[in-house]
C-alpha cells in the first residue's frame, strides 16, 4: 500500500463542493426513477446537472483500455448488476432495484457517491437488501475517527451484512479519494478488526458497501464493465465520500444536506 494522502481544510472544502453536486445528482435521479424511465435519459439528466454546476462527470471516458472507456456519466446497475452498469436504452420495470453511482470533479477535486433505488413496488427481500446495505454504510461511517484501524470500518459492514443473511462482494472495494478518483487506501467491506492503516485527520475515503442477496461471487459481462452476481440474484450499493476530522467524521456526500456525524 502506498502513502495515504492527507488533505488540508482548504482541500476538504473543495471536495465538499464536488460532493455536494454528487448528492444533488442522486436526489435528482431518485425523483426520476420510475417504471418506464430510460437509463440513457437518466444519464443525460445527470450530465446536464453536473455541468450546470461547473463540474465534470468523473466516470465519462474513465478506464485503462483506450478502446473501451466508460461511456456514461452514471453507472446504472439494475437488479443482479452490482456496479459499473452502462446507461443504455433499457427501460426500468416495476419491481426492479437500480443502483446509481456518480462521480464529480470540480476545481481539481473529486466526490463519489451511490444509492440503490426501488422501481415502484419491490419484493420484501429486495426492500430488506436495500435497508441492510444502507445500514451497513452507516455503521461503517460510525467507526470513522482518528486512531481507528481501517479494517474496523470494513468489519462493521461485514458484521451487519452477514448477520442479515446477505453477502459482501470481495472482488470490489471502496477507496481513498481526493485529487484522483481512486487513491490509497483500498477500503474493503470485510476485514479483521484491529488491522489495516490507522485513520488520521485529513484522510478522505469513499466507503461503498456492495451487498448481494445470494453469493458474494461476481462476474464481468462481455462489455468489460458491467459486474453482476454469479447467481443472478439482486445486489445493492450505497456509497458516501467522507473526511476524517479531528472531531470524528464528516459525510461530504450527505444526501440533501452536508453533515457531520
Measured CA distances, 154 to 9, 62, 173 (Å) = 25, 26, 10
- pLDDT range class, residue 260, cuts 50, 70, 90: very low
Instruction: For residue 2, name the pLDDT band (cuts at 50, 70, 90).
Output: confident
pLDDT in tens, 179-214: 999 999 999 999 999 999 999 999 999 999 999 999
In percent, how much of the chain has pLDDT > 90?
A: 96
C-alpha cell at 104: 464529480
d(CA 158, CA 166): 9
- Maximum C-alpha span of the chain: 48
Contact status, residue 257 vs residue 120, Cβ threshold 8 Å: no
Domains defined along the chain, listed by start: 9-260 (3.90.230.10)
Q: What is the DSSP string of 196-252?
A: SPBP-TT-EEEE--EEESS-S-EEE-TTSS-EEETT---EEE-BEEEEE-SSSEEET
Amino acid at each position: 500500500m502506498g502513502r495515504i494522502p492527507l488533505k488540508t481544510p482548504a482541500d476538504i472544502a473543495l471536495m465538499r463542493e464536488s460532493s455536494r453536486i454528487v448528492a444533488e445528482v442522486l436526489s435528482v435521479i431518485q425523483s426520476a426513477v420510475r417504471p418506464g424511465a430510460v437509463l440513457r435519459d437518466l444519464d443525460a439528466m445527470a450530465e446536464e446537472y453536473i455541468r450546470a454546476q461547473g463540474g465534470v462527470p468523473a466516470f465519462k471516458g474513465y478506464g485503462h483500455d483506450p478502446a473501451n472507456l466508460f461511456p456514461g456519466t452514471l453507472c446504472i446497475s439494475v437488479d443482479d448488476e452490482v456496479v459499473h452498469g452502462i446507461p443504455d436504452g433499457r427501460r426500468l420495470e416495476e419491481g426492479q432495484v437500480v443502483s446509481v453511482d456518480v462521480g464529480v470533479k470540480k476545481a481539481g477535486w473529486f466526490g463519489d457517491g451511490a444509492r440503490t433505488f426501488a422501481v415502484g413496488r419491490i419484493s420484501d427481500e429486495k426492500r430488506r437488501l436495500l435497508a441492510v446495505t444502507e445500514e451497513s454504510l452507516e455503521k461503517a461511517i460510525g467507526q470513522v475517527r482518528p486512531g481507528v484501524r481501517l479494517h474496523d470500518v470494513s468489519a462493521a459492514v461485514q458484521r451487519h451484512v452477514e448477520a442479515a443473511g446477505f453477502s459482501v462482494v470481495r472482488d470490489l472495494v471502496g477507496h481513498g479519494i481526493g485529487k484522483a478518483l481512486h487513491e490509497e487506501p483500498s477500503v474493503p467491506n470485510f476485514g479483521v478488526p484491529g488491522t489495516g492503516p490507522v485513520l488520521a485527520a485529513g484522510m478522505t475515503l469513499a466507503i461503498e458497501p456492495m451487498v448481494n442477496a445470494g453469493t458474494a461471487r461476481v462476474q464481468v459481462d462481455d462489455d468489460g464493465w458491467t459486474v453482476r452476481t454469479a447467481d443472478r440474484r439482486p445486489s445493492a450499493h450505497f456509497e458516501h465520500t467522507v473526511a476524517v476530522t479531528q472531531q470524528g467524521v464528516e459525510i461530504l456526500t450527505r444526501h440533501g444536506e452536508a453533515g457531520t456525524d
